[in-house]
């Protein structure tokens, strides 16, 4: 990071400006793909992303502390400067360095430099009073547009537990290409019950032991379960639909399956190929709409496009950059993908349908309705009998519901829904 930290903090504020823009909000991934931080040195770029992510997680707390010192909200840029500064100060940031850096940011703004005095005064008050007040505040709540339907689905107590998990964030989870225990020892990680290796405070991922040699890839523990549950066998013809970024493709290939990976995005499929090359695994790759795929397969993995509401502990920008308006179209697409994929599955074969969503309409309800449409389809809950899977997570229609508040003593997991659908012989 630069000496004063101004570059990294400016990058964080710029990301927040884009994510929290009222007229055209963007996901952090979209902003990064657009090159917003490309001119920063690697250390500052990583610091900017971390600061923006931490600020989004604590946004409600920051705003509650700031509103006591503001008679009216300043323009978004200054408000985000104050938010980043507040989060840093309340999490142990050195007052002198943080306040000076944030004041310099405002002073350098062509149109808002006159608010540097306000910035200085407010942040000095936060430095004096904020840390103690911060610790007394509740875990930040989800925005109302999302909290409402999730509370209706799971209840107020469950949502409160999920919000605690979201605020805590996520460690780095790794899937080993080979011996998971050996990987855990090499990276000073913890071997979770399902075989994922969890690392706390990992530093730069690309410099970790085993990265360059392709011994592992990053994959949340919940995201690693669909392939484990499928139990692919050597030589089986397996179709991985909506495959990017390729974590499940690599799992399938490592198990010895003959994998066909499909995604409709050229850049995302490039990433799949790069990931396969780094770990030394092979798969046939197709860049096309999953609904246009033809063939016959022993097993199919359909990780369908969804709201991604299960990944908020990793991506706290999602509730602010989205408003739920596109969820209806996604639910319709999921139904289409299930129906088409079913035509590609050989008699006696199995399909694993999954979404990284907390919404029942993208999980339990989808499978209930698919069972009604296809007389030769049944769910197979016996496939969930693996180490680390609590039988209480199995749902009435025969799927598996994972939530961020599960495994709280281990650091949680992403929200996921997984179902094994078997086709009559």
Q: Which residues are catalytic?
A: 356
Q: Distance (Å, rounded) from C-alpha 207 to C-alpha 210?
A: 8
C-alpha 123 chain-centroid distance: 31
| Structure tokens that stand for 301 in this block | 């993995």
Contact 57, 90 (CB under 8 A): no
| Structure tokens that stand for 356 in this block | 């990284």
**What's the Cα-to-Cα distance from 177 to each of 61, 210, 213, 228, rounded to whole Å?**
41, 10, 11, 13
Q: Environment class of residue 362 by beta-carbon count within 10 Å: exposed (0-12), middle (13-18) or buried (19+)? A: buried
Q: Distance (Å, rounded) from C-alpha 250 to C-alpha 176?
A: 10
Contact 308, 400 (CB under 8 A): no
Q: Distance (Å, rounded) from C-alpha 382 to C-alpha 420?
A: 9
Q: Distance (Å, rounded) from C-alpha 18 to C-alpha 11?
A: 11
| Structure tokens that stand for 153 in this block | 């689905």
Q: Distance (Å, rounded) from C-alpha 196 to C-alpha 218?
A: 10
Nearest to 74 by CA among 108, 116, 26: 116
Q: Distance (Å, rounded) from C-alpha 25 to C-alpha 318?
A: 10
Q: What is the DSSP string of 39-69?
A: TS-HHHHHHHHHHHHHHHHTHHHHHHHHGGG
Q: Distance (Å, rounded) from C-alpha 413 to C-alpha 401?
A: 11
| Structure tokens that stand for 200 in this block | 């706390």
5-37 core/surface letters (b: 16 or more CB in 10 A; e: else): bbbbbbbbbbbbbbbbeeeebbbbeebbeeebb
Q: Distance (Å, rounded) from C-alpha 238 to C-alpha 262?
A: 11
What are the E-state strand segments in 141-188?
A: 172-176
Contact 323, 178 (CB under 8 A): no
Q: Distance (Å, rounded) from C-alpha 60 to C-alpha 45?
A: 24
């Amino acid at each position: 990071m630069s000496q004063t930290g101004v570059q990294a903090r400016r990058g964080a504020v710029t990301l927040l400006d884009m994510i929290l823009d009222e007229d055209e909000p963007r996901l952090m991934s979209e902003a990064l793909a657009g090159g917003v931080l490309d001119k920063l040195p690697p250390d500052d770029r990583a610091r900017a992303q971390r600061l923006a992510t931490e600020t989004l997680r604590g946004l409600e707390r920051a705003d509650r502390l700031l509103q006591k010192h503001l008679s009216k909200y300043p323009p978004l840029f200054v408000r985000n400067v104050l938010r980043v500064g507040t989060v840093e100060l309340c999490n142990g940031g050195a007052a002198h360095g943080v306040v000076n850096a944030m004041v310099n940011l405002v002073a350098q703004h062509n149109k808002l430099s006159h608010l540097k005095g306000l910035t200085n005064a407010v942040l000095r008050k936060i430095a004096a009073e904020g840390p103690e007040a911060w610790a007394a505040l509740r875990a930040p709540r989800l925005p109302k547009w999302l909290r409402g339907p999730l509370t209706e689905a799971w209840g107020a107590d469950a949502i409160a537990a999920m919000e605690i998990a979201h605020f805590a964030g996520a460690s780095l989870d790794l899937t080993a290409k080979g011996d998971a225990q050996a990987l855990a020892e090499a990276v000073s990680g913890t071997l979770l019950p399902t075989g994922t290796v969890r690392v706390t405070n990992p530093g730069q991922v690309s410099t970790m032991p085993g990265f360059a040699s392709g011994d592992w890839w990053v994959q949340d523990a919940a995201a690693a379960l669909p392939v484990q549950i499928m139990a692919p066998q050597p030589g089986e013809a397996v179709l991985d639909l909506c495959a990017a970024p390729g974590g499940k493709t690599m799992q399938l290939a490592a198990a010895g399956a003959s994998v066909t990976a499909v995604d409709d995005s050229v850049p995302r499929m490039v990433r799949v190929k790069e990931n396969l090359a780094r770990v030394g695994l092979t798969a046939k790759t197709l860049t096309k709409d999953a609904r246009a795929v033809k063939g016959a397969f022993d097993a199919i993995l359909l990780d369908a496009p969804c709201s991604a509401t299960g990944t908020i502990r990793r991506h706290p920008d999602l509730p602010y950059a989205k408003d739920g308006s596109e969820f209806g179209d996604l639910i319709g697409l999921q139904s289409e993908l299930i129906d088409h994929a079913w035509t590609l599955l050989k008699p006696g074969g199995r399909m694993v349908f999954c979404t990284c969503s907390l919404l029942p309409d993208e999980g339990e309800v989808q499978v209930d309705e698919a069972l009604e449409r296809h007389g030769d389809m049944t769910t197979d809950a016996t496939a969930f009998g693996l180490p680390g899977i609590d039988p209480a997570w199995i749902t009435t229609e025969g799927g598996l519901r994972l939530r961020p508040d599960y495994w709280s003593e281990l650091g949680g997991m992403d929200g996921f829904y997984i179902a094994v659908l078997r086709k009559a012989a």
